[in-house]
Structure 1
Amino acid sequence: VNLHNKTALVLGGGGSARAVVAGCSALGCGRILVAGRHPQRLKQFLADVQCLADHLEGVPWSGLSAVLPSVQLVVNTTPVGMSPAIEACPLNPGQLECLGPHTWVYDIIYTPRPTTLLRQARARGCATIDGLVMLVGQGAAALRLWSGRHDVDEAAMLMAANAALAPPESPICASV
């Protein structure tokens, strides 16, 4: 995904959101919006990360419908959609309606696969990415750091992770 001069929307304001803001800035996003449910926490988050990005703006959760049509990337960094509430979605139906086929939706949650957010985004024609890519990237970075090896095969790691998280095949029962 080419993010140069594009607009990204980060849902949430925790540690993962900080990393996503830094990553979006490093990839050249022209505008980074951060949405939070709690105005005071959002204000503090923006103050904490302002050094990471030049074009950073806060958006109240109630204002998401107004900005969603203009963003090219939405990244969910909230826990909404994780176990045990796997049917939950961080965006309500009206907000989901604002997503267009030009929008990439990235949910850092890697299980369940896909999350409700990603299922809904796909139904709207959006391209989607789940959190397994991030998990594998973190694992590869750790291997490089700890082992000193730079030939870590992330593609093979992703294939293995996908296989490990795939639904089990039906057991074959044989009568004796």
Structure 2
Amino acid sequence: MTDWDTNEGVPGFVDIPRLSEDPARAEASSSREYSPAEDLEDPLAAREVLQLRELMKNFVQEMVVGREVNIVVEEDQLEKGWLRLTPNLLQLRLDVDGASHEMLLRNIRDVRSGKMGHGPVKLDSLCCTLLLKGGECLSFRFQSLAERNRFAKCVKVLALALEQ
């Protein structure tokens, strides 16, 4: 079982194939869990892979429980909602004013951070917008740039993983 497996009988993890297979290395590592960073010869790249893996693990754990979000509804107006990731990692579920809205991650066309020059609502640097394939968009406002960047990066990774 991997960190991504929700143990619900549905796919919920990304299987990263090994990049190379050295018999001596395979025998030595057979007693422990495989890490894709092992196949990277550049230590900096290996560290980045491990950091991304840890970031995604923490994000998924947090988002399966859910978190309060500020939804940009009109210029200078925010509405509180509860955003969570379904345990199978396929959808985001947004609860607002007693209504539940579901978004398939595979329907996210792009994730944009910060100001956007067009649209009915002016966004600031703390905003992150999910652009959906159907032409709709949903913008959230975060407390900090670090929080916004973490959300944007992790949602992009999840959406890209489902494109394949």
TM-score by length of 1: 0.22
Q: Greater share of strand residues, 1 or 2?
A: 2
TM-score by length of 2: 0.23
